[in-house]
Structure 1
Amino acid sequence: MATIYQVSTLAGVSLATVSRVINKSTRVSDKTRQKVEDAMNELGYRPNSIAQSLASNCTNSVGILVSELHGPFFGQMMAGIEAELRAAGKHVIITTGHSEADKEKDGIDFLISRNCDALIIHTEALDDDYLVKLTKGKTPVYFMSRLIAGIEDNCIHLNNELGGYLAAKAVIDQGHSKIAYIAGPQFKPDSQDRLAGHKRALAESKLPFSSDLFFVGDFKETGGKAGLKKFISQKLSFTALVCANDEIASGAMTYAREHNFSLPEDLSIIGFDNIIFSQHIYPKLTTIDNPVNEMGHMAAKLVLKNVYNHKKLNINHSFDPVLVSRDSIAKISI
């Protein structure tokens, strides 16, 4: 196996210069860098990442904790983070928390034990006090899709309350006044905020919030089916269904068609997130855009700026959702 000493001899440079090339230092001319890289290729030399990390106290790896690995939402999030970090020569280590406090803590402990230079975490079950304490440790920690009082500079977040407001207003503006709502789990901050925005839009239009037309789902298609089944079985009257995410909306649309609803003539439906399939289902789903891929890029930039000293990067901590109008809301004739 080739050694760094052999690379140094073949390239005709010092060991320090070879080390600077390996660590991508800018303090090496292009000509010298090419000589070293040519020598490494000729000898088949591969740097020992463990030795590098011990010498530099930097592993060039960032830990990511997400709730799940399945589904397009988290795929878009991780793709944004990974693309930004990979372009900067960094790698990611990914684990899951499954929206359970013990599993989220276990995942965080695992990533810290892998000597990650920083963590980007999407946590739903751990409380704010625990997360604030977590930022006091040696490993820098940043948060996706969550705003935490006291550590706002560590957070990349969406204005979910505004998103919930825009979703309800979209159906109200089309003349709907009998509006059902299928929420996500209410221990999740984004679900709470979307419901708060929904209620604000109703109150602004002097429409009542009906507990009969409210169902807590699971942020999955099963929640959409179960919620709509409950409303229909109780023979409740409503013309519009607001769903806390697109997966819920997809499940509700499937159940509605299975029970001979014509969409959107018999029932208008709106989702939230604007995940990839929302524009391919029938009718094309009107939804609220959650720029999670862009937010993933921004979380990675936050790490690059604060941990890897990429000082010229501009950071936007807060993102606003927007309405994406398609075909799933019908206008009510007055």
Structure 2
Amino acid sequence: MATIYEVSELAGVSLATVSRVINNKTKVSEKTAKKVHDAMAQLNYRPNSIAQSLASNRTNSIGLMVTGLNGAFFGQMMAGIESTLRKAGKHVIITTGHNEEAREKDGIEFLKSRNCDALIIHVEAVSNDYLIELCQGDIPVIVIGCYIDEIKQHCIELDNELGGYLAAKAVLEEGHRNIGYISGPENKLDAQQRLVGHQRALREYDCKLGAEYFYTGNYIDTGGRDGLKHFLDNKQSITALVCANDEMASGAMTYARDHDLELPKELSVVGFDNVIFARHIYPQLTTVDNPVYEMGMMAANMVLETVYQQQNLKIQHHFKPKLVKRNSVSTIN
């Protein structure tokens, strides 16, 4: 196995220079850095990660806590985080909380025990007070998907209220007034905010969201299926269905087709998130774009700037959703 001494000799530079290149501690000219990297490649030299950690006081690993691993939403978020950090030579350790306070706290403690240089977290169950205390600790923390004024510089958020408004307005503008709404779980902040936006749009068109037009879903396809079944079983003559995410929208669309409803002629459907499959189902789903991949990249950039002192990175804390019009909404004449 090659040693750092052999790399130094082959590259024709000092041991200190090789160390600087490996650890990225100080700037080295591109020409010198190339000599070192070429020598490392020729000798098949692999830096000892433990030794690097001791020398730099960094593990080059970032802990990532997400609510779950199922569904396209979290896949896009994790892809944005991992791809950005991998380009910078960092690695991600992932754990999940499954929307349970004890499991979220346990997962965060696990990541801290791995000596991660920073944490990126998307949580649902822990309190704001817990997050405030966590962000005041020794490990830098970035929180995706929420806004807390006391730790606003640690937060990355989407304007979910605006997104809910845009989703409802998409069908209201086409003449729909009998509109069913399938919400996300009532304990989730983003679901609460999207509902507020939905209600704001209805008020603008002198509509009300009565209990008969509301169903609480679960953010997976079964919520959409069960929600539409609820409306049909109760003889609600809805012409449009707005769902708080795309997975529930897809479940509702499948249930509609299985029960011989012609989409969108007999039922218009709108989703939220704009996940990859939204453009491939039939009819293609009109939805609200949730830039979760970009939010993941932003969280990674915040870590790179805060922890690794990378410069000239664009930092953005607030994201705006946009309506993506496709083929799942018809016009009421």
Fold agreement, TM-score > 0.5? yes
What are the residue-to-residue correspondences of 1:275-286 with 2, within 5 Å?
275-286=275-286
Residue 32 of structure 1 and its aligned partner are, at CA, apart by 3.0
| Structure-2 separation of matches of 1:324 and 1:43 | 52
**Partner in structure 2 of residue 162 of structure 1:** 162
| Structure-2 separation of matches of 1:275 and 1:295 | 14
**Partner in structure 2 of residue 199 of structure 1:** 199
**Partner in structure 2 of residue 308 of structure 1:** 308
| Structure-2 separation of matches of 1:189 and 1:13 | 56
**Partner in structure 1 of residue 173 of structure 2:** 173
1:228 aligns with 2:224: no
**Partner in structure 1 of residue 297 of structure 2:** 297
Task: Give the match's secondary structure for 1:264.
Answer: coil
| Structure-2 separation of matches of 1:34 and 1:153 | 37
Please list the CA deviations of residues 132-155 of structure 1 after superposition, one character each: whole Å capped at 9, or x if unmatched: 111011111001121122111111
**Partner in structure 1 of residue 136 of structure 2:** 136
Instruction: Normalising by structure 2, report the TM-score.
Output: 0.96
**Partner in structure 2 of residue 211 of structure 1:** 211
| Structure-1 separation of matches of 2:318 and 2:42 | 48
Residue 241 of structure 1 and its aligned partner are, at CA, apart by 0.6
| Structure-2 separation of matches of 1:315 and 1:29 | 27
**Partner in structure 1 of residue 112 of structure 2:** 112
- Compute the RMSD of aligned alpha carbons: 1.4
What are the residue-to-residue correspondences of 1:56-95 with 2, within 5 Å?
56-95=56-95
Give the 3 Å change call, closer, same or farther, for CA 172–30 of structure 1 in structure 2. closer
**Partner in structure 1 of residue 47 of structure 2:** 47
Task: Give the match's secondary structure for 2:143.
Answer: strand
Amino acid paired to 2:134: L
Residue 206 of structure 1 and its aligned partner are, at CA, apart by 1.6
**Partner in structure 2 of residue 125 of structure 1:** 125
| Structure-2 separation of matches of 1:77 and 1:9 | 43
| Structure-2 separation of matches of 1:179 and 1:34 | 62
Task: Give the match's secondary structure for 1:157.
Answer: strand
**Partner in structure 1 of residue 327 of structure 2:** 327
Amino acid paired to 1:215: Y
Greater mean deviation of Cα atoms: 265-274 or 3-12: 3-12
| Structure-1 separation of matches of 2:306 and 2:51 | 24
| Structure-1 separation of matches of 2:34 and 2:253 | 58
Residue 19 of structure 1 and its aligned partner are, at CA, apart by 0.5
What stretches of structure 2 of length at least 5 have no aligned partner?
none
Instruction: Normalising by structure 1, report the TM-score.
Output: 0.96
Residue 25 of structure 1 and its aligned partner are, at CA, apart by 4.5
**Partner in structure 1 of residue 238 of structure 2:** 238
Amino acid paired to 2:136: K
Task: Give the match's secondary structure for 1:105.
Answer: helix
Residue 2 of structure 1 and its aligned partner are, at CA, apart by 2.9
Greater mean deviation of Cα atoms: 9-18 or 251-260: 9-18
Please list the CA deviations of residues 92-115 of structure 1 after superposition, one character each: whole Å capped at 9, or x if unmatched: 111111111111111111111111
Amino acid paired to 2:150: G
Greater mean deviation of Cα atoms: 304-313 or 274-283: 304-313
Residue 26 of structure 1 and its aligned partner are, at CA, apart by 5.0
Residue 4 of structure 1 and its aligned partner are, at CA, apart by 2.2
| Number of residues of Structure 1 aligned to a counterpart in Structure 2 | 333
